[in-house]
Amino acid sequence: MNIKIKTLIGIIAFAVFLGTVFWGYTYLSNTNKLNTNTIGLSQKNVLRAAPDFTVIDEAGNPAKLSDFFGKPIVLNFWASWCPPCKSEMPHFNKIYGDKKDEVVFLMVDLVDGEQETTETGLQYVGDQGFDFPVYFDTNQEAATAYEVTSIPTTYFINADGKIVTKYQGAVDEDSLNKDIQLIMD
104-149 pLDDT tens trace? 999 999 999 889 999 999 999 999 999 999 999 999 999 999 999 9
Edge-to-edge strand ranges of the sheet holding 153-157: 48-49, 162-168, 153-157, 73-78, 104-110, 134-137, 54-57, 62-64
For residues 136 and 109, is the Cβ–Cβ distance under 8 A?
Answer: yes
Q: What is the pLDDT of residues 50-77, one digit of tens each?
A: 999 999 999 999 999 999 999 999 999 9
Q: Which amino acid is at 56?
A: I
Residue 178 is predicted with a pLDDT of 94
Q: Is the pLDDT of residue 36 over 60?
A: no
Lowest mean pLDDT among 21-25, 60-64, 155-159: 21-25
| Closest residue by Cα to residue 53 from 129, 106, 103, 16 | 106
Q: Which of the two residues, 153 and 9, has the higher pLDDT score?
A: 153
pLDDT band with cut points at 50, 70 and 90 for residue 19: confident
What CA–CA distance (Å, rounded) separates 85 from 28?
27
Residue 13 is predicted with a pLDDT of 84
How confident is the model over 162-169, as a mean pLDDT?
94
How confident is the model over 24-33, as a mean pLDDT?
55
What CA–CA distance (Å, rounded) separates 138 from 183?
27
Q: Across the chain, what does the average pLDDT equal?
A: 88
For the entire predicted model, the pTM comes to: 0.76
| Closest residue by Cα to residue 107 from 137, 134, 139 | 134
Q: Is the pLDDT of residue 44 over 70?
A: no
Residue 29 is predicted with a pLDDT of 52
Q: Is the pLDDT of residue 16 over 50?
A: yes
Q: Is the pLDDT of residue 34 over 80?
A: no
Treating both helix axes as pointing N-terminal to C-terminal, what angle do 83-99 and 173-184 enclose, rounded to 10 degrees? Answer: 50
Residue 26 is predicted with a pLDDT of 66
- Classified as helix, coil or strand, 117 is coil
| Closest residue by Cα to residue 42 from 166, 163, 180 | 163
Taking CA atoms, 27 is separated from 15, 18, 20, 87, 99, in Å, by: 18, 14, 10, 30, 39
